[in-house]
Amino acid sequence: MLDQIFPPMALPIALYYPSTPQINDPDSFTHQLKRSLSVILSRFYPLAGRASGDGEFIDCNDASVPFTVARLRGHKLLEHLTNPRPHLLLPCAADWGTNPGPYSAVMLVQVNLFDCGSVAIGAVFWHKVVDGSTLSVVLRSWGEAARGGKEAVYPNYMAQHMFPQKEKMPLQLGSTTDIVNTGKSIVTRYVFERSAITLLKLKSSDVERPSAVEVVSALLWKCFMYASLANGKSTSLLTQTVDLRRRAQPPFPPECFGNFLAIAPAISTNDDKVTLGALVRKMRDSIIKIDDKYINRMRGDLGLSGYYQNLQNMWTEYSPEFDILPISSLCGNNLYGVDFGWGKPLWFSRCDSINESMDGSVWNRIWLIETRNGDGIEAWVVLHHKYMSIFNQVKELTTLASVDPTPT
């Protein structure tokens, strides 16, 4: 049921690896990647299936994972990272609005070979099937198999029994129409190093032990408030994606396959005097409602009615006039632990176009990921161009964060 509720969209990512002796023979390591992927697909078998014609289920027919090898003649990884365009490394076009069609693949892979001997692995997952935690487990399991490791991870498919599928799911569930506008979008990366996060925590000292994700989210929300107010909105609503595995009592196993996600909304007037600590408290007050009772209401045959009850409890103050900013965090999923035998990736990225404005649908949103050293946070901010012009002027943000730095 949780997968049915989740909007149909693509989850595109890329992993970048510098040249090492282990990848000097492209044919050999490409074969190694194919072989190890086929090994883990025997366990993560839904990824080798195809979406049904109506998009309601996956036909686990062993149809395979499309696997492409691209040689980037005349291109070096360092040059690519100086002006990152990770969407070019994908096996297919994919952005937030990409809706896999009937009989489409659930996972696609492209291995990109640079002239310098470096490698970038691009992958597109159907987000209706996997969330960030599942994606991490799949990639790390693939790396373990490629290294010849013996600690195989087996996915847990308990979701299909705990939250059974519903025959008829109302179409409005999971709709993103309320938060989509028309215009041009701009993607900007902000990197907060440990010193900046320490300073943000000091500024949030009126709350107990604020986390790095909380203080960075609070600052980005405050910057969004300036942009929202400048665009005629008086109230903003921050939504946080919450992993139900960690909220259950006892916690569900981390290898639970599928979407174990909930959305926690927090509301604030667009007040430039609001403190970071006050915003952190609003975020915590929202998340605390997603507890074991929340999860248990959605279990079993009556789970859909429990889901509606949860919606009613969480969204009582919602108004269509609110300006919505979704934030999702991949922090804590150890995506920099994906080692195919060549060491840790130099960079892990989303695959949204950076600094390229395009006409079309715009969905303001933010993704957070840990930096490679583990003590910083990289924020991918996607905003309507009218919002970004104000967002980028907030001195507190530009003073604390590096803007679009070259990954190193």
Q: What pairs with residue 183 in β-bridges?
A: 360
Burial of 26 (0-12, 13-18, 19+ CB in 10 A): middle
CATH architecture of 181-403: 2-Layer Sandwich (3.30)
CB atoms near residue 377 (< 10 Å): 24
Which residue, 293, 237, 284, is CA-closest to 265?
237
DSSP 387-403: HHHHHTT-HHHHHHSEE
Q: Over the range 323-360, which residues count as b (16 or more CB within 10 Å of their CB) and which as e?
A: bbbbbbbbbebebbebbbbbebbbbbbbbbbbeeeeee
Q: For 319, list phi and psi in degrees, rounded to 5.
A: -135, 140
Confidence (pLDDT) at 101 = 65
What is the pLDDT at residue 172? 46
CATH code of domain 2-160: 3.30.559.10
Residue 188: per-residue pLDDT? 93
What distances in angstroms separate CA 195 from CA 49, 120, 200, 400, one per listed residue? 45, 30, 9, 9
- As a whole number, the mean pLDDT across the chain is 90
> What is the per-residue pLDDT for 54?
73
* In the chain, where the domains are located: 2-160, 181-403
In this prediction, the residues of the chain whose per-residue pLDDT falls under 70 are 95-102, 169-182, 353-361
Please list the active-site residues: 127, 339
Stated as kind and residue range, the H or E segment containing 311 is helix 303-314
**Same fold for the domain at 2-160 and the one at 181-403?**
yes
Determine the pLDDT at residue 359. 62
Extended strands (E) in 161-280 = 181-192, 235-243, 261-269
What per-residue confidence (pLDDT) applies to 99? 61
B/e letters for 217-250, b = 16+ CB within 10 Å, e = fewer, are bbbbbbbbbbbbbeeebebbbbbbbbbbbebbee
* pLDDT given at position 100: 63
| CB of 349 closer than 8 Å to CB of 370 | no
Q: What is the pTM of this model?
A: 0.92
